[in-house]
Amino acid sequence: MKKSLTLIALGCATVFSANAEVRINGFANFVGGVTSSDDTVYGYDDNVSFSDESIFAIQVSGDINDKMTATGQVVAKGENDYKTEFEWAYITYEATDNVSVSAGRLRLPLFRYSASKDVGYSYHWVNAPRAVYDVAFNNLEGFRVDYNNYAGDWEYGFQLAAGTINSEIDVPDATGNPVEVDLKANNAVLLTAEATYEWFKIRVVGGRSSVTFRPAVLETTFAQIPDNIADALRIEDDTSEFYGLGIEVDKFDWFVNAEFTEVGIEESFSPTDTAYYVSAGIRTGKFTPSITYESLDGEGEIRFLDLVAALPEPFQAPVGAAVTGTQQAFFDKYTVTTLGLRYDMDTNVALKADISKYDDDLDDTADATLVRFAVNYIF
């Protein structure tokens, strides 16, 4: 892995001219965890694992000219067997002191910590709250326009991002084994507004795209039901919408922050996911104890039963079972309460530990306690 990262970093560096200033940075998260039972939480079970949330990354940036810079970020994630991938690869043009335009493979500005989601050192958690941050669409191939300015004591900014999203989601096949299925979102548009006044920050975001997601295991089911109902259930160029609100109060000695999101595809088998977290902590010397409560509600009403009711009576029961089962398979509803502690051991190095109580509202037997510990550093 080290050899691959080094070669890729050197390759990135060669794209800049000999006179350009090339900056190489990096970060790493070494994370371990174990649950109180054999139930899986965030990829962990009752055997200690160090791979599910561990990351190593190198970022290379350099000046193309006085107005333009290029940035590339290579990431190796433990959950992917440390296979190296380009997470970011884009150029930025500083149009004015207030406006910049970036184009290429970019991080979608969905959340408060979107740009630094993988950089564990940048926040107090072992990992950002998964109920909100664990989405399948983090990156965008397209462009982003950033505008930042001041109004009195307020600092504010807007971001407009547009392009195409290509991602993969693990879906169980007919035997229960996870299979990667492509998710594609065309004509994605996202608008973000953020304002900061000393210790207070507020952030709002909204976006939409045209999504296609066709797991083979579902297509087998859809082939056995009437076409009009199958077409209603499919995610085929369907409109997806994302909304978010974030609030932060940081008095340095103590802080409280929260984010709320909603994402859904109305006309499909996929439920609307509503998620939020609230986190609070204090900073005392090198220590930052905190508590976080997060919730995900992805249990919706069963859709398209009116189409089932219009079928001849002998077909209603089997088709209704298929329609209901397809949607229920994607329901998810849980809460997590986490007590965490961060210790800033040295410059650019933090040690963390937390204990989380995971409560599954759809399956009581899946409740578990997760203990995690981490070393985060930047360089």
- Tens digit of each residue's pLDDT (9 = 90 or more) over 89-109: 999 999 999 999 999 999 999
For 104, the token pair is 């290429």
For 142, the token pair is 């397209």
For 36, the token pair is 């109180």
Contacts 24+ apart (CB under 8 A), 318-326: 319/225, 319/226, 319/229, 322/221, 322/224, 322/225, 323/225, 323/229, 323/233, 326/218, 326/221, 326/233, 326/269
Quote the mean pLDDT of the chain.
Answer: 92
Average of per-residue pLDDT across 240-263: 97
pLDDT-derived band at 196, boundaries 50, 70, 90? very high
pLDDT of residue 90: 97
CA dihedral sign, ordered 225, 229, 230, 233? negative
Average of per-residue pLDDT across 210-219: 92
Q: Is the pTM value of this prediction over 0.75?
A: yes
Q: What are the pLDDT digits (tens) for 37-91?
A: 877 899 899 999 998 899 999 999 999 999 999 999 999 999 888 999 889 999 9
pLDDT-derived band at 343, boundaries 50, 70, 90? very high
pLDDT of residue 178: 79
Backbone angles phi, psi at 249, to 5 degrees: -120, 115
pLDDT of residue 38: 76
Q: Is the pLDDT score of 13 beyond 70?
A: no
What is the domain class of 90-378 according to CATH? mainly beta
Kindly give the pairing relationship between strand 22-35 and strand 55-63: antiparallel
Of 174 and 69, more confident = 69
Under 8 Å CB-to-CB from 21, ≥6 apart: which residues? 62, 63
Q: How far apart are CA 197 and CA 71, in angstroms?
A: 30
pLDDT of residue 208: 96
- pLDDT > 70 in the chain, percent: 94
pLDDT of residue 21: 80
Residue with tokens 């029961």: 317
Average of per-residue pLDDT across 278-283: 98
Q: Is the pLDDT score of 2 beyond 50?
A: no
Under 8 Å CB-to-CB from 106, ≥6 apart: which residues? 88, 90, 139, 140, 141, 142, 143, 144, 161, 163
Q: How far apart are CA 310 and CA 312, in angstroms?
A: 7
Q: Is the pLDDT score of 18 beyond 70?
A: no
pLDDT of residue 37: 81
234, 220 contact by CB (below 8 A)? no
For 307, the token pair is 């189409």
For 274, the token pair is 């509503």
Task: Determine which of 1-15, 106-120, 222-236, 245-259 has the lowest per-residue pLDDT on average.
Answer: 1-15
Q: How far apart are CA 238 and CA 154, in angstroms?
A: 39
Q: How far apart are CA 141 and CA 187, in angstroms?
A: 11
Average of per-residue pLDDT across 149-162: 97
Under 8 Å CB-to-CB from 373, ≥6 apart: which residues? 31, 32, 33, 126, 351, 352, 353, 354
- Burial track 33-69 (b if 16+ CB lie within 10 A, e otherwise): bbbbeebebbebbeeebebbbbbbbbbbbbbeeeeeb
pLDDT of residue 20: 60
Exposure of 88 by Cβ count < 10 A (0-12 exposed, 13-18 middle, 19+ buried)?
Answer: buried
Under 8 Å CB-to-CB from 42, ≥6 apart: which residues? 33, 52, 53, 127, 130, 370
126, 354 contact by CB (below 8 A)? yes
Q: Report, in this order, helix, strand and coil percent for the chain, each rounded to 5.
A: 15, 55, 30
Q: Is the pLDDT score of 175 beyond 60?
A: yes
Q: Is the pLDDT score of 8 beyond 70?
A: no
Backbone angles phi, psi at 226, to 5 degrees: -55, 145
